[in-house]
Amino acid sequence: MKVSYFPGCTLKNKAKALDEYARRSAEALGVTLEEIENWQCCGGVFTTARDEVATKLSSVRILKAAQEKEQPLVTVCSACHNVVKQTNHAMQTDREFADKVNRYMAEEAPYNGETEIYHYLELLRDVIGFDALKEKVVNPLKGKKIAAYYGCLLLRPSGVMKMDDPENPSIIEDLIRALGAEPVIYANRNECCGGYILAESPALAKKNSNAVVENAKAAGAEMIITACPLCRYNLVKNGADIPVVYFTELLAEALGVKEDTNE
């Protein structure tokens, strides 16, 4: 199976491991991630102003590129996924906005939100299936107690993202079980770590991030996994004293392809 793939900016530098493990794991599961050509930054944040069009054009072009190849689009970074998914939703539901976008892109065929979008986690759950993934595991992560950290952007706004229950999610815990480990459920797993206020208020970001880590540890976690580069950076920078890793690293380890990466 081939899918269009948008890695985003951070996965080409600070979060390079997230990208490398994602690619290797996908191949082991029979999926080829075909990177979109000449992609640009998704915009980083989805602005809610209806008259803001320019910052969303790169996301529309990403979506159009997948549409032209007649492939679904797969993302890995939580922030990128949020921006691209919300932009696609706006193209589907806001005719005024879609008209402005398509007039900006007048030399191209109109786009109206036709592309199907999967976060990598959804690809594992909804396309490959966690049962099929479990059968591919060669190094089950037995004995590991792992806390999933969702953060803000994977689940919200829930009416658009439609990935999981925003208050009681299970997709990452189900992944952890498929890999042979024990998921740790804790209260702060979908609370904000403070990543977006790190520059403005380092003290508050540290407070939020420490609350996440301490809550996970109190519930018995030995490790935290996340899909967001900013969340990982913030948790680590603010002194997490248990490992904080990308979910794709554990996926690659369980599938036996981690050693094939540059990490």
Give the mean pLDDT per block of 10 residues along the chain (263 residues): 97 93 98 96 86 92 96 97 97 95 89 97 98 98 98 95 96 98 97 89 95 98 96 95 97 91 45
> What's residue 114's pLDDT?
97
Return the closest-CA partner of residue 225 out of 248, 207, 206: 248
Is the Cβ–Cβ distance between 205 and 195 less than 8 Å?
yes
- Peptide bond just before 157 cis, omega within 30 deg: yes
How does DSSP classify residue 44? S
CATH code of domain 130-260:
3.40.50.11810
Beta strands in 45-186 (DSSP E): 73-75, 117-119, 145-149, 182-184
Instruction: Please state the domain extents for the chain.
Output: 2-120, 130-260
> What's residue 196's pLDDT?
83
Is the Cβ–Cβ distance between 138 and 255 less than 8 Å?
yes
Domain 2-120 sits in CATH 1.25.40.10: no
- pTM, 2 dp: 0.95
How far, in Å, CA of 88 to CA of 71, rounded? 15
DSSP assignment of 103-115 equals HHTTTS----S--
> What's residue 48's pLDDT?
82
- Residues 92-124 pLDDT 10s: 999 999 999 999 998 788 999 999 999 999 999
How far, in Å, CA of 192 to CA of 152, rounded? 6
> What's residue 263's pLDDT?
43
Which residues are 35's β-sheet partners?
Answer: 5
Residue 63 C-alpha from the chain's centroid: 16
- Residues 200-234 pLDDT 10s: 899 999 999 999 999 999 999 999 999 999 999 99
> What's residue 260's pLDDT?
53
Residue 73 in tokens: 């689009």
The phi and psi torsions of 148 (rounded to 5 degrees) equal: -80, 130
> What's residue 261's pLDDT?
46
